[in-house]
């Protein structure tokens, strides 16, 4: 027996009134994952300045 996943709605793109918007966005947007963290770079900056890196 096939188990159906609940909690989402399948959209027929060919009949969707926002099809053009979806296609325009999909053509330029790439799937990505981002994460923001606080990071102490004090020692790193000291080394960069000491060695005169840019």
- Average pLDDT on 29-46 reads 90
- Name residues whose C-beta falls within 8 Å of residue 16's C-beta, 6 or more positions apart in sequence: 22
pLDDT of res. 27: 84
- Name residues whose C-beta falls within 8 Å of residue 13's C-beta, 6 or more positions apart in sequence: 19, 22
Angle at 13 between CA 7 and CA 33, to 5 degrees: 60
pLDDT of res. 1: 66
In this predicted structure, the answer to whether residue 43 has a pLDDT above a threshold of 70 is yes
More confident residue, 54 or 46: 46
Read off the pLDDT of residues 10-34 as tens digits, 9 standing for 90 and up: 889 999 999 999 888 888 877 778 8
Across the chain, mean pLDDT equals: 87
Q: Which two tokens stand for residue 24?
A: 């325009």
């Amino acid at each position: 027996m096939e188990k159906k996943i609940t909690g989402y709605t399948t959209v027929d793109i060919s009949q969707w009134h926002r099809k053009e918007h979806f296609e325009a966005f999909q053509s330029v947007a790439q799937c990505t994952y981002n994460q923001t963290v606080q990071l102490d770079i004090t020692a790193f900056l000291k080394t960069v300045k000491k060695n005169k890196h840019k």
